[in-house]
Structure formats: C-alpha cells, structure tokens
Homo-oligomer: A and B are copies of this chain.
C-alpha cells in the first residue's frame, strides 16, 4: 500500500481545532484549514465527508463499544438495566478522552450547525442500540423507546459530568437512571 495519509488527517484535525478556537467554526473556511495543514482544500474532502464531520470522529468507536457491551450483558436482564450497564462500560472511554473532547464540546454547544450533527450522531447510536437490543430478543416494539430513553438519560449524565467534574461519571449515570425511574413511577 502507498503512503498512508494518516498524518495528513491528524494535521487537518489539529489545524481545524486551532482555527475554530481562534475564529469560530462558521468563520473558518475549509481552505484555511487545508492551508494550515499544508494540503489542498480538495484533500480535506478526501479525508472528511464535510466540514462538520471532523468534529465527530470518536462516535464510531463509541458505537462499536456500546453494541459490544450490550451483547455482553447477562441474558435475562431487562432492557433499561442492560443499557445502563452498557453505558457504564463506556465510562473509561469518556474519562480517557475528556481533555481532548472538552474544547470540541464547547464548540458544538455554541454552533447550531454542529448541534444538528451531534443530534444526528446520537440518533445513529440509538439505532445501533435498538438493533443490539433486538438481537438479545427484546420486543421490536419497545426496543426503540428503551434505546432512545436510555441514550437521553446517559446524555444528561455526561452533561452534568462536563459541568461538574467532581462527581464521577459512574455516579452521574446511576443518579440519572434513578431519576428516570422515579419520574416514570409517577405515571399512573
């Protein structure tokens, strides 16, 4: 195989993060990113489907880990406890990547176009979790609801963890799922 191109991809990500931090996402043309990385604008689009996509690189890794974790939960476990356990398995990944993802999270929070893409990525995760549940025999009727609700509960946990890093993510996850159980118990 010829030259790898992996170095170029990393340089593009590095250049983009720097420029986004300086001028913001919308005010940074792709040409500027490519230029700082020492390549052409065309090369950028050979490494990333579009300008937003480069901010969401770890999502496929997270998805694979989650699907694997769901499959590893002992059989007979109910859907939401299964998903809670799977999310606990991803905690080390989040803790390890925290310093890297923090600036990206802030950038996403203040850029509507990136929020949209972030929501789309979460939807992909929900789909993957739905399939993983159905592979365990969960009824196709409730699998999407469980996957979606668990995803949102975990999202609440991570958001709190970002704002208040003193509480471990494990505890935030348990706390959020506790609140979900209490809130749902009030339904008739």
Contact = CB atoms under 8 A, between A and B. Distances in A.
Given A119-B116, A120-B116, A149 B187 contact: no
A115 B117 CA distance: 10
Number of copies: 2
Contacts of A78: 183, 186
A188 B184 contact: no
A184 B186 contact: no
B80 A184 contact: yes
A145 interface: yes
Interface in A64-84: 78-81, 84
- A84, A115, A180, A184 — most chain B CB neighbours (10 Å): A184
Interface in A129-188: 141-142, 144-146, 148-149, 152-153, 155-156, 176-181, 183-188
Interface in A22-41: none
A176 B116 contact: no
Given A116-B120, A117-B116, A145 B181 contact: no
Contacts of A141: 179
Given A119-B119, A144-B156, A180-B184, 14 more contacts: A80-B183, A80-B184, A81-B188, A112-B120, A116-B117, A116-B119, A119-B120, A142-B179, A145-B179, A149-B149, A149-B152, A180-B187, A181-B187, A181-B188
